[in-house]
Amino acid sequence: MPAVVYRGANDLRVETLPVPKIGARELLVKVAVCGVCPTDIKKIHYGTVPPPRVFGHETAGTIVRVGSEVRKFKVGERVALHHHIPCLKCHACRHGTFAQCEQYKRTGITAGFEPAGGGYAEYVRVMPFVFPGVVKIPNRNTFLEGAMLEPVNTVLKAVKRLRLLRGDIVLVAGQGPVGLMFTRLLALHGANVIASDLLDSRLKFAREFGAKWLCNPQAEKDSTNKLQSLPDLVDRVTRGRGIDAAVIAVPSDDVVRETQALLRGGGQILLFSHTRRGEQTQLDLATICVDEKDLIGSYSADILLQKDVARLVFSRRLDVRRLITHQFPLAQTAAAIELASHPTPQSLKIVVGQLLRAQ
């Protein structure tokens, strides 16, 4: 079968691999689509994990073979996959910090080599410990929607970390695919969202996804006087109180510091895109101690939210179809990753797969 194999930093090759053999308790899934995710891009660009691997973990497809002991699934079912599942028993899990669980760090889906998701291949083998994350896709919904359950889950998990009252004012900095999911989910939670981004095309989308106010921090500098700066906007809409919370969906330390100054005492800043280790930044720690401005993070998904996530996506209250702007055939995965890492004003979520239609 064709597969896109990571052979080292920035080295992806289309190779022919054997179709994975499954055990009695496993599934074989024919991949329909797989989303391109920033965490995979980071691993590929910086070569942070040893090759060879087949990446891709936002996967949806059709079950084509089931092991002899599998009762829960049938051949022909269309499913969305989830590659990390916590044990729910260890110390980390008892604290609800699933992403820190040792089992969670194991990947239960592979197209060959060290398991790494495998979605950039024609077939994947699904191991039994990730079955709790396998969701059947309703007939009316597309594979594309199924493939978005994983990223939507990570966003819903992060939203749940915020202490919000209805009507609270929340800044979402960065309106890429993930930022837009935040904007929509926060709006559905009853928050009033300020959306900021350097691309006006993305702000237009943010409006459609429920943002109440828009701000392009770059535009304010070019303009003579008409556009208002983010601090002015925050000052006006919060009547000088400051925003209740902010989600930082761009990997910029400056944005974190600037946002901290806009936050009310007792508010929260949630980091979602600061996944690269080793960078240092300066903060006045009294803003955390005295002003009680919490700085928190969120990483990866929460399997206990999977039912809510499926309901949000499949009911189209969060209509992820509108986020997907580009589909590449599997053989062009490298081009898909290139576009995802250098987004254009027109590009949002990018997927690869066998199908070029919205099925």
Q: Footprint of Zn ion on residues 179-218 (CB under 5 A)?
A: none
Does the protein bind Zn ion through residue 243 (CB under 5 A)? no
Nearer to Zn ion, 93 or 227 (CB): 93
User: Which positions from 99 through 128 interact with Zn ion, judged by CB under 5 A?
Assistant: 101
| From 20, 56, 61, 86, residue interacting with Zn ion (rule: CB under 5 A) | 86
Q: Which is nearer to Zn ion, 93 or 288 (CB)?
A: 93
CB 184 within 8 A of CB 318: yes
Q: 86 or 177, CB closer to Zn ion?
A: 86
The number of C-alpha atoms within 13 Å of 256 and in the hemisphere containing its C-beta is 22
Q: Which stretch binds Zn ion (CB under 5 A): 29-37, 71-79, 202-210, 304-312?
A: 29-37
**Nearer CB in complex with Zn ion: 260/273:** 273
Instruction: Report the 10 Å Cβ neighbour count for 190.
Output: 11
Of residues 37 and 134, the one with the C-beta less far from Zn ion: 37
Sign of the dihedral defined by the CA atoms of residues 78, 337, 348, 186, in that order: positive
Site for Zn ion in 30-49 (CB under 5 A): 37
Q: Which of 87, 198, 305, 335 binds Zn ion (CB under 5 A)?
A: 87
Cβ atoms 133, 85 nearer than 8 A: yes
Are the CB atoms for 255 and 218 separated by under 8 Å?
no
Q: Which of 14, 41, 64, 90 binds Zn ion (CB under 5 A)?
A: 90
CA angle, residues 40, 245, 265, in degrees to nearest 5: 135
User: What is the rounded CA–CA span in Å between residue 23 and residue 298?
Assistant: 34
Q: How far is the CB of 328 from Zn ion (least distance, A)?
A: 17
Interface region with Zn ion, contact rule CB under 5 A, candidates 72-80, 85-93, 188-196, 214-222:
85-93
Q: How far is the CB of 273 from Zn ion (least distance, A)?
A: 12
Binder among 14, 64, 93, 237 for Zn ion (CB under 5 A): 93
**Which of 59-67, 84-92, 117-125, 261-269 is the region at the interface with Zn ion (rule: CB under 5 A)?**
84-92
For residue 177, state whether it binds Zn ion (rule: CB under 5 A). Answer: no
**Among candidates 119, 84, 78, which has minimal Cα distance to 351?**
119
Using only C-alpha atoms, the chain has a radius of gyration, in whole angstroms, of 21
Beta-strand runs (E) in the chain? 2-8, 11-16, 27-35, 58-66, 78-80, 109-110, 123-126, 135-136, 169-173, 192-196, 213-215, 243-248, 263-271, 294-297, 324-329, 349-353
From the number of C-beta atoms within 10 Å of its C-beta (0-12, 13-18, 19+), residue 25 rates as middle
Q: Which is nearer to Zn ion, 94 or 241 (CB)?
A: 94
Task: Identify which of residues 40 and 168 has a Cβ nearer to Zn ion in the complex.
Answer: 40
- Give the pair of three-digit tokens for residue 252: 């910029």
Residue 298 Cβ, how far from Zn ion at the closest point, in Å?
Answer: 13
> What minimum distance in Å lies between the beta carbon of 119 and Zn ion?
10
Q: Are strands 2-8 and 213-215 parallel, antiparallel or unpaired?
A: unpaired
Give the nearest distance from C-beta 303 to Zn ion in angstroms: 11
Least CB distance to Zn ion at residue 87 (A): 4
Binding site for Zn ion (CB under 5 A): 37, 86-87, 90, 93, 101
